[in-house]
Amino acid sequence: MLSSLRVPVELLRLPVVGRHSRKSSCAFRGTLRASILRGTDQNIHPMDKSLTPQAFASNNLNRSLGDRREAEFLHTAFPHAHFVIVSGSKVMVSRDAMVKLRWLEARELQSLQYGPSGVGTIQHSQSEALSPYLLGKEDSTWRMVLEADEKLLSSMESSAHELVDLRSLMPVLPMEELAVAGHAVALSNWHKSHVFCGKCGSRTEPIEAGGKRQCLADPAHREYPRTDPVAIMLVESVDGEHALLGRPRSLKRRGPVLTCLSGFIEQGESIEEAVAREVREEAGVDVESVHILGSQPWPIGRGGSCELMIGCMAKAKSDALHMDDTEMDDVRWISKADVKKALERSSAADNPLTGEHEEQHQDLDFFVPPPWAIAHHLVKIWAEQQSAWFPAKL
Ligand SMILES: [Zn+2]
């Protein structure tokens, strides 16, 4: 079985973003992708102070597709479709020198005795029907995701490819492919968790090539792929020389990590209001200004959900801290000088979030997240600002 294939890479532990990350099973060691590293050097526009695209963004597939609404879409599209294979949070990648998504072409599926069956499904004569979901189009090729069953996985067993956890692919997949992989895992997970109607409890089925699900009892009951918004913020001190960083209790097991505060945006709440509420709840600090800088899709959110991390900068009204110790393990004001030191080793092999060792540095007792997390970019652009982020009031 593919699940037993040897992963030809060494294990390492992976990054933390706020309190929403999970421990990974494995990851590729290697040079970080140049695209993301370049982003860390030029990650702020001098005029508008916005972030450049983050990991899991930069999906170049065309998603504006009306064709998917046609009843015979899958039959028509199948000969021109390529499928990325997922299994839970794992994605199939090639084992070549460069890590790349393994796209399974329609002719390969046909050679394995799979073909279109009912409306919107493909099937092997000896297995249950599978539902491919449309991700987008690239030139004349339809790109779809297919959650594989045991039959397909065993048919595909090969030393040329393997299933690897999406989190482990963050440092190594090309940025555009990582975005597609993230969409594939998020969409597949969403379908698996919405097989029953939220309004009446009846079964649902995918329609429009996976663009939505429809209730079998009442066609007016429809569900749409969901994204949960999360505010993540760097809070600047009154003097502009310190950043408020913390470690949720849920991350305590990950070691000496300090990152930006974060939390889900509630219903009927603006992004700015969510930032103020979360900072007050977690650190007891009131903020007076909030800047929204950019966002990061986060398809590996809690419970397999897809989140959208909205990166913000906030200004504290006062520096007094009253940490909520039921939720947070540590909250501190960190000087700009120490933040810069931490950034220099955020991708180092001895960062417990990215490397193999947990050696304690003599000068600092914490690490910040690596470059594929938006928290890293918030910390970095703040530290690189020569003066305070928020102008002093006259
Ligand atoms: Zn219903």
191-246 pLDDT per residue, tens: 999 999 999 999 999 999 999 999 999 999 999 999 999 999 999 999 999 999 99
Q: Do residues 152 and 112 touch, judged by C-beta distance below 8 A?
A: yes
pTM confidence score: 0.84
Residue 162 — φ and ψ, nearest 5°? Answer: -160, 160
pLDDT recorded at residue 95? 80
Q: Closest Cα to residue 165, out of 22, 24, 3?
A: 24
Q: What is the pLDDT confidence band of residue 46, given thresholds at 50, 70 and 90? A: very low
Alpha helices in 223-325 (DSSP H): 271-283
CA 308 – ligand 1 centroid, Å: 27
Measured CA to CA, the distance from residue 220 to residue 212 in angstroms comes to: 12
pLDDT recorded at residue 362? 57
pLDDT recorded at residue 142? 94
pLDDT recorded at residue 361? 55
pLDDT recorded at residue 175? 94
Q: Closest Cα to residue 242, out of 389, 394, 46?
A: 389
For 30-42, what is the mean pLDDT? 38
Measured CA to CA, the distance from residue 118 to residue 127 in angstroms comes to: 13
Residue 335 has pLDDT above 90, yes or no: yes
CA 206 – ligand 1 centroid, Å: 13
Q: Closest Cα to residue 208, out of 77, 112, 92?
A: 77
Return the ∠ at Cα 288 (arms to 286 and 294), rounded to 5°: 105
Residues in the chain: 394
Strands (E), the chain: 81-87, 90-94, 103-105, 114-116, 122-124, 133-138, 141-147, 161-165, 204-207, 212-215, 222-223, 228-236, 242-248, 261-264, 287-298, 307-316, 328-335
For 136-148, what is the mean pLDDT? 94
CA 199 – ligand 1 centroid, Å: 5
CA 191 – ligand 1 centroid, Å: 15
Residue 254 has pLDDT above 70, yes or no: yes
User: Which residues, chain by chain, have CB under 5 Å from ion ligand 1?
Assistant: 197, 199-200, 202, 215, 217-218, 221
CA 94 – ligand 1 centroid, Å: 41
CATH topology assigned to domain 228-384: Nucleoside Triphosphate Pyrophosphohydrolase (3.90.79)
Residue 44 has pLDDT above 70, yes or no: no
pLDDT recorded at residue 350? 56
- What b/e string do you get for 325-335 counting C-beta neighbours within 10 Å, with b at 16 or more? eebbbbbbbbe
Location of structure tokens 């879409």: 73
Q: What is the pLDDT confidence band of residue 315, given thresholds at 50, 70 and 90? A: very high
CA 75 – ligand 1 centroid, Å: 27
**341 membership: H or E segment, kind and range:** helix 336-344
pLDDT recorded at residue 12? 31
CA 217 – ligand 1 centroid, Å: 6
- What are the extents of the domains in the chain? 228-384
Side-chain half-sphere CA neighbours of 289 within 13 A: 13
For 155-180, what is the mean pLDDT? 92
Q: How much of the chain, in percent, has pLDDT values that exceed 70?
A: 84
- Span 101-140, pLDDT tens digits: 999 999 998 888 888 887 778 878 777 888 899 999 999 9
- The three-state secondary structure class of 176 is helix
Residue 149 has pLDDT above 60, yes or no: yes
Residue 16 has pLDDT above 70, yes or no: no
For 8-24, what is the mean pLDDT? 33
CA 304 – ligand 1 centroid, Å: 23
Q: What is the pLDDT confidence band of residue 32, given thresholds at 50, 70 and 90? A: very low
pLDDT recorded at residue 48? 59
What residues contact residue 331 under an 8 Å CB cut-off, 6+ apart? 244, 245, 246, 247, 261, 282, 283, 321, 323
Q: What is the dihedral of CA 108, 113, 118, 121, to 10 degrees?
A: -40
Q: What is the pLDDT confidence band of residue 360, given thresholds at 50, 70 and 90? A: low
- What b/e string do you get for 125-142 counting C-beta neighbours within 10 Å, with b at 16 or more? eeeeebbbbbbbbeeebb
Tell me the β-bridge partners of 136: 143
- The three-state secondary structure class of 196 is strand
Q: What is the pLDDT confidence band of residue 72, given thresholds at 50, 70 and 90? A: confident
CA 65 – ligand 1 centroid, Å: 26
Question: Which of residues 120 and 176 earns the better pLDDT score?
Answer: 176
Average confidence score pLDDT of the chain? 84
